[in-house]
Amino acid sequence: MKQKFGIDQRGNPITLFIIQNDRFVMCVSDYGATLVSLIDRKKNIDIVAGFDDVQDYVNHVSHFGAMIGRVANRIKDASFTLDKTTYHVSANKGRNSLHGGWNGFDKMLFHGEEHDNQVVFTATSPDGDEGYPGTLDIRITYTLDEQGVHIVCEGETDQTTLFGITNHSYFNLNGNGTINDHEVTLFADQYAPNDETGTATGQLLSCEGTPFDFRKGKLIGTDFESDDLQIRMTNGYDHHYAVPGSGLRDMAVCKANGLKLVTRSNLPGIHFYTGNFLNGDYTGHNGTNYGQHERVCFEPEYYPNAINYEGHEKPILPANKRSVQIIEYLLSDED
């Protein structure tokens, strides 16, 4: 099923696609290939923050529910060297590039097609788009089943480029209110500290004995008042975690309100963000204001700025090769 979702900044009509089964209702938009809503019919709550008209997605810069690309997170000084050529991409976060630039995937209009329990979005990012080389063909497939949401993002280019996506959904398993009662487990022994611009430094530090240790599970808000400089800099968590292994695997588990959300991916790590910079100015579904520490993001990704660091897997997509990047958000009753 689909319905009108308003008009974007270019005057294009936007469509909302609605897929449902016995447990869930999933709404996705062709603007930004965005996860707009995920309703648990059993609890009668929407666990994903979002808006009721595309203009809110056009006007806001917090990337609610959007697919992020060409490269998720930051590229320091908005430049990188690839095949001995230096490229300058959009500097939309101070001197750095964030989440693909001013007009990344989150501001892109995709072509959407509904197939049974799937919506397939396709688009082409032209050579030079936001400064990136190569014409990139993108295919993003959302599948809804009784486990939850499965996202497969495929990219193919005619010239070697960068391609490292994420999804930027904001979750609250209560539907509304604080996330301080959410218990989180992160399957990572190491995290990346940030510099003064919020860019990962290239290091990986041990979580052991720090506020960043979520290996055994703890309430999100346990260390919000910590004196740890990294926590103070970001008013919470806004950090990359390196998840051991390869292939599709569990990265994070979040529990609250009798629900369990499992994030799975085949990407190298995950960014853990606790809605530190939401200030209540955004009014979303059912008149909900999204305030600080009322939403949490689990964003599988490559190490931030990996293209400019040694020792980290780089999001390089060679010419005429295809990359398949997978993110799953699986929801069930808590054990």
| Active site amino acids | 168, 299
- For 182, 235, 296, 335, the CA distances from 253, given in Å and listed in that order, are 10, 22, 12, 12
For residues 51 and 57, the answer to whether their CB atoms sit within 8 Å is: yes
For residues 318 and 90, the answer to whether their CB atoms sit within 8 Å is: no
Choose among 113, 207, 150: nearest CA to 331: 150
Concatenating the DSSP letter of every residue in 38-79 gives: EEETTTTEE-B---SSHHHHHH--S-TT-EE-SB-SEEGGGE
Question: The dihedral of CA 193, 198, 201, 204: what is its sign?
Answer: positive
For residues 313 and 303, the answer to whether their CB atoms sit within 8 Å is: yes
For residues 272 and 186, the answer to whether their CB atoms sit within 8 Å is: yes
- Measured between alpha carbons, how far is 55 from 37 in angstroms, rounded to an integer? 16
Residue 128: CB partners within 8 Å, gap ≥ 6? none
| Amino acid at the residue 15 | T
